Amino acid sequence: MSSSKTHRRVRAFVDYFGPLVFLLAFLVTRDVVKATAGLVVGSAIALIVGFVHEKRIAPMPLVAGGAALVFGALTLIFKDPRFIYVKPTVINLGFAGFLLGGMAIKRNPLKALLGEAFRLPDHAWRTLTLRYGIFFLCVAGLNEIVWRTQPEALWVAFRFPGLQILALAFSFAQIPLMMKYHEDDPAPPPTE
């Protein structure tokens, strides 16, 4: 197996193992507090695997996994599912604040994170950053509505895989903007 395939599989494991264990534990126990123990253990395992494989922990899995550990521990200590319910709200508000706050001080955090992968003009990066910032605000609000008004089982399905599907659909919706403004690498100067 190529190292690229292995890397992608490890990244997927790091990103989704904790939430998947949470979902499976909830399906077995029908109890969010008990399922949170699965999230904590799954997130810890995922972070360890990511660190062993890459010799570092990438920023996004570190934030998501670290939040799962903190909010999960609070849920387990206090036996109160509200901590795990608000985790997506806090994380998404944090991402929105990071992106929109960066724009407010004339920085572009999304370009700093992804500028190596995509070459876009600054105005396209600003548009993309604004869209993602608003998306994260909307997801935070949607999480609050779902956990406060819907049955526990629906919130669990919304949490995983619902939020991942929503994020994937939103990201695919950004492809036309990225394709429109994508800058090809300039041709190298001729050599003789």
Instruction: Supply the pLDDT for residue 189.
Output: 56
Q: What average pLDDT does the segment 56-68 reach?
A: 89
How far the first Cα of the chain sits from its last, in Å, is: 40
pLDDT of 183 strictly over 70? yes
pLDDT of 60 strictly over 70? yes
Say how far apart CA 128 and CA 121 lie, in whole Å. 11
pLDDT tens for 115-169 read 888 899 999 999 999 999 999 999 999 999 999 999 999 999 999 999 999 999 9
Instruction: Supply the pLDDT for residue 116.
Output: 83
Which pLDDT band holds residue 78 (cuts at 50, 70, 90)?
Answer: very high
Which pLDDT band holds residue 192 (cuts at 50, 70, 90)?
Answer: low
Instruction: Supply the pLDDT for residue 190.
Output: 58
Say how far apart CA 85 and CA 32 lie, in whole Å. 9
Instruction: Supply the pLDDT for residue 188.
Output: 55
129 C-beta neighbours (distance < 10 Å), count: 22
pLDDT of 38 strictly over 90? yes
Least confident of 38-52, 105-119, 139-153: 105-119
Closest by CA to 44, choosing from 22, 60, 66, is 66
DSSP string of 24-85, one letter each residue:
HHHHHH--HHHHHHHHHHHHHHHHHHHHHHHSS--HHHHHHHHHHHHHHHHHHHHT-THHHH
pLDDT of 1 strictly over 70? no
Say how far apart CA 14 and CA 12 lie, in whole Å. 5
Sign (positive/negative) of CA torsion 45, 51, 54, 57? positive
Q: Which two tokens stand for residue 33?
A: 């507090």
Quote the mean pLDDT of the chain.
92
Which pLDDT band holds residue 86 (cuts at 50, 70, 90)?
Answer: very high
Residue-wise burial string across 24-60, b where 16 or more C-beta atoms lie within 10 A, e elsewhere: ebbeeeeebbebbbbbbbbbbbbbeebeeeeeebeee
User: What pTM was computed for the model?
Assistant: 0.89
pLDDT of 5 strictly over 90? no
pLDDT of 185 strictly over 60? no
> Do 143 and 158 form a contact (C-beta atoms < 8 A)?
yes
What does R_g of the chain's alpha carbons equal in angstroms? 19
Sign (positive/negative) of CA torsion 174, 179, 182, 184? positive
